[in-house]
Amino acid sequence: MTVFALGPDEQEWCAELRALTAERLSPLAEKGEEGRVNRPLVAALGELGLLRRLFPADGALRALDLCLLRESLAQECTEAETALALQGLGAYPVVQSGTAAQRDRWLPEVAAGRAVASFALSEPGAGSDAAALSLAAEPDGPDGWRLTGEKCWISNAPEADFATVFARTGGAAGARGITAFLVPADRPGLTGEHLDMLSPHPIGTLVFDGTPVTREDVLGEVDGGFAVAMATLNLFRPSVGAFAVGMAQAALEAALTHAGARTAFGGPLKDLQSVGHQLAEMATRVESARLLVYAAASAYDTGAPGLARRSAMAKLLATETAQYVVDAAVQIHGARALRRGHLLEHLYREVRAPRIYEGATEVQRSIIAKELYRSRP
């Protein structure tokens, strides 16, 4: 298979995912509370075997499979997509850098949808500049530390059953001196609160007041935590673009249906040149973003050079495209799309966040610019 077209088996798999999501997951999503972890939905993702696809027993997860999974779910139910993605984001440091004991304890629970994971990197003063984090891990005896500080904008916080937490164990500035810890939610001194966000994602804070951790909780190497974070983000960044493409496709489909059925000025909306050209532009941008996402995922899977540039381009184009397409679909629908509960009202709130998290649009442009010059002779 090339990066330019999916094979019949993959197309069929994506169609099955969309149908399964619409039938089994969307009803559970509708019963959930916005901004909170929907545990019945997470459990259903486990029962249907979708979470297990994040942790294949026969080898590493293909980035392209992750993209197809996220795009397909997002097209039918953004809540299901987000629940699955946050499980992967929180657990993948354990997959890539955890000990056998850590993997045996947590990964089966995550895959079954019984344990909720969290990825705790961002802080009130360290968002896009992840290396600037200041959560302190102060030595406590020969093999332990105590965590003091706050994490903010954290997925599934404070409801997650465990969090991958990045803290500063060394005195070195920047990326050096950061260690990743696996911190169960029942540790003393760990609290948090929900944040009421524009998008309906479960997001909150984590506050550490002398929370104890030991060497058994370390993921990877002491002072090597930044590499743990980047390894996870490198895998998941193209799939953020896939999430955006799924939302954009859903908005495009809604616009096509409405423009074909709605009459104005003596005929269907689609026959107005201004609307027809708008639909053509939307479709072209969605397909362009999809192809760039697939190309970035394939580059990751094959170990092709220029991964940082490709991933940044994919996330940049896909998230900006999704914002444009959802907004254009709202415009084509008119006031009805602004009513609470309308698909496009929901997507309008959902689509804004991916332009910020896992590296804002401006950060992606900076990465691309640096990589352009890095590759020059």
**Which residues are marked as active site?**
358
Return the SS3 of 331.
Answer: helix
Rounded distance, CA 164 to CA 352, Å? 25
- Reduce the DSSP state of residue 204 to 3 states and report it: strand
Q: How far are the Cα atoms of 163, 235, 317, 377 from residue 244, in angstroms, in the given order?
A: 25, 16, 9, 34
Q: Which whole-number Å values give the CA distances from 218 to 34, 121, 194, 284, 366, in the listed order? A: 33, 15, 26, 46, 31
How far from 320 is each of 164, 326, 352, CA to CA, in Å?
Answer: 29, 10, 9
- Burial grade of 140 (CB within 10 A; 0-12, 13-18, 19 or more): middle
Tokens at 309, concatenated: 């540039």
CA 118 to chain CA centroid, Å, is 12
Is residue 152 within 8 Å of 134, Cβ to Cβ?
no
Nearest to 315 by CA among 281, 366, 350, 358: 358
Residue 117 near residue 164 (C-beta atoms within 8 A): yes
Nearest partner of 275 among 350, 196, 218, 331, judged by Cα: 331
Amino acid residing at 1: M
- Return the structure tokens found at 302: 């094959």
3-class state of residue 245 by DSSP: helix
- The enclosing H or E element of 369 equals helix 361-374
- Pairing outcome for strands 162-168 and 178-184: antiparallel
Alpha helices, DSSP H, located in 272-357:
273-302, 307-333, 343-350
- Cβ atoms of 169 and 145 within 8 Å: the answer is yes
Tell me the C-alpha distance between 326 and 334, whole Å: 12
